[in-house]
Structure 1
Amino acid sequence: MRSIARGLGLGSAAMALTALTALAWPGTAGAAPTGTESLYAPSALVLGVTAGQDAGSGTVLRAVTLACSPTPGGTHPNPVAACAELRANGSRLDALAAPAADAVCTREWNPMTVTADGVWQGRRLNYTYTFANPCGFRNTTGVLFDF
């Protein structure tokens, strides 16, 4: 099978020059990102609240999307604050899901589970936290799961 470059009559030096020109010329597809674009890996999550102890078999009550890179966005009601919390805590989300220390809740067992699934700073993230009851969920300290 004949290569396209040879079929067009281009030698190896001409091919190299063409490739370099395409990458270096302003406005081409290979140009470096500008403006609000970022060289960092994207961060995007799907956050969910499920009635039940197991997110896989429970009833999904709510779900939102959260994108933090290059700019905060998604269907989360407060993406700027949620992304700031994620940046401050990294992938250690227990601090954001745990109920406040001064929360007063009954001891009933009516579990609710929150999940975060997606990519955080270029790495796969799969997080699950189960509250004993809706009271614990309503008294979380962060805004990440406040939707």
Structure 2
Amino acid sequence: MRSSAIKIACVAGAVVGVVALSANPAGASEPRSLYAPSALVLTVGQGQNAATSNVERAVTLTCRPTAGGTHPAAAAACADLAQAQGQPARTLNEEPGRACPQIYAPVTVTADGVWEGRRLSFERTFANRCMAQSQVTSLFGF
């Protein structure tokens, strides 16, 4: 009788151990970073809106814990976005100091991803490439 009780206790202990391991695989609950994620996909395309534009260029931008991704000026782009409190619209130069032709050939820029753990989706259409280039800062300067 005593050996049966020991066997039951061992089996119960093993089952509890297996359940605990399968519910919590090694490292699954450990945070990978102390920072909320900040990672975006940025695009520039020819067209009137994101749904219909032909994407010409796209880059990734990661700002936390360090600047990175395929963006050619990741550190400057992250600094612009941080200064704008994660709002891409606030990174744009609304008063361009450049004269542009009055030709309508729309260019759309987008930013989609996560900023400090919050979902971010931004789209802006400019009348033409000259207007876009005169208003964007390093965030969309790729």
TM-score (norm 2): 0.77
Matched residue SS, 1:41: coil
Higher helix proportion (structure 1 or 2): 2
Runs of 5+ in structure 1 lacking a partner? 1-5, 23-27
1:122 aligned partner, one-letter code: G
Letter in 1 for 2:42: L
C-alpha distance after superposition, 1:74-123 (max 9, x if no partner): 00001011011111102322232345431211221111000000111101
Contact 2:61 2:70 survives alignment (8 Å): yes
Within the candidate set 89, 106, 129, 2:84 is matched to 89
The share of aligned pairs that are identical, in percent, is 44
CA distance 1:100–1:141, shift in 2 (3 Å): farther
Counterparts of 1:76 and 1:110, CA distance in 2: 25
Q: Which amino acid aligns with 1:136?
A: M
Which structure would you say has the larger Rg? Answer: 2
- Aligned mates of 2:115, 2:65 — CA distance in 1: 12
- Structure 1 counterpart of 2:127, from 123, 128, 132: 132
Alignment of 1:1-147 (within 5 A): 8-10=11-13, 29=27, 38-98=33-93, 100-147=95-142
Structure 1 position 129, deviation (Å): 0.6
Aligned 8 A contact 2:110 2:123 in 1: yes
Letter in 2 for 1:54: N
Q: 2:59 touches 2:69 (CA, 8 Å); kept in 1?
A: yes
Question: SS of 2:13's equivalent?
Answer: coil
Please list every run of 5 or more consecutive structure 2 residues that lacks an aligned counterpart in the other structure.
1-8
Alignment-derived partner of residue 25 in structure 1: none
Aligned length: 128
Letter in 2 for 1:135: C
SS in structure 1 of the partner of residue 63 of structure 2: strand
Q: Aligned partners of 1:91, 1:57: CA distance in 2, in Å?
A: 26
TM superposition shift of 1:38: 3.2
